[in-house]
Chains A and B, each alone.
Chain A
Amino acid sequence: MEAPFDDLARLVGEAAHRVTNAQVSSVLAATGSEKATFEIIAAAALGAGLSRWDRAVKVLVEATDASE
């Protein structure tokens, strides 16, 4: 991905509370589409959540496999 998409996606993943109006507007201007902008935000959020899910389930399996 290129900036501004990359910048917005990364910040949504790392610190979404720091996303600014300007960043979202910049992606909106680059894509020309609200749905596309929403999709970038949703995909970045999903990535952050699902990677945590994956990690958490793996450590739980590891913890229970070791004890069995």
Chain B
Amino acid sequence: MRLNEVERGDGLANRLLIKFISMVSGMRLPGAARVAFYHKDFFGGPMGAWTQAAMRGPSSWSVAERELMACMVAKWNACAFCVGAHGAIAAKDMQRPVIDEATSNFRTAKISAHLKSALLFLEVMTLRPDQLKAQHARAALNAGLSRQALTDAIAVGAVFNIVTRYANALDFAMPTPDEFDRAAEMLLKRGYGS
């Protein structure tokens, strides 16, 4: 974490809260959670609400499918922290080997055709947004995605194009696989809102 105040918490209440959660959970509170507490009115509050809506709101996509989308955006943006965090959550429902296959080559992974078509769109949106065109949307719709399903995927893509950037810029410390697994349980129970 490159900013000490984000690491420790701003204000006595948040510092105590971070220490308490770390103590109770038996693990260092991940950087993403520290950002969620920090400068809340400016960023953490609204960002948490948007992330919760995109990742846990009503959608034809399952929670695991949206977590895999987040994991893939993280991979495209070279954010190892988010690949680990969201891959771990997706793996709670989808199988770990499938997640690993997808991060290696989603085009050949054993995921649904719908999810593949969403990822094809999100890949261009993430890596080459200036080249994103109506034909990319048409391809996803022709593959059977509803307009709403593609919109929901776009929301996940937008959120994680933001999250991965601040995660990388702040250089979040990397949890261990066991810590990612425990954090995944917490995120599945609590979600992203505050």
Q: Which A residues have a C-beta under 8 Å from some C-beta of B? A: 8, 11-13, 15-17, 19, 21, 24-25, 28, 34-35, 37-39, 41-42, 44-46, 48-53, 55-57, 59-60, 62-64, 66-67
Contact = CB atoms under 8 A, between A and B. Distances in A.
Secondary structure of the B contact surface, majority rule: helix
A56 B141 contact: no
Given A35-B39, A56-B154, A56-B157, A45 B132 contact: no
Contacts of A66: 134, 138
Contacts of A21: 2, 171
B6 A38 contact: yes
A12 B165 contact: yes
Interface of B: 2-6, 10, 38-39, 42-43, 77-79, 121, 125-126, 129-130, 132-138, 141, 147, 150-151, 154-155, 157-171
A49 B158 contact: yes
Q: Is the interface of A mostly helix, strand, loop or mixed?
A: helix
A11 B165 CA distance: 9
B59 to A, nearest CB: 15
22 contacts: A11-B169, A16-B164, A16-B169, A19-B171, A35-B5, A37-B3, A38-B43, A42-B42, A42-B43, A45-B165, A45-B166, A49-B160, A49-B161, A49-B162, A49-B165, A52-B126, A52-B132, A53-B155, A55-B132, A59-B132, A59-B134, A60-B150
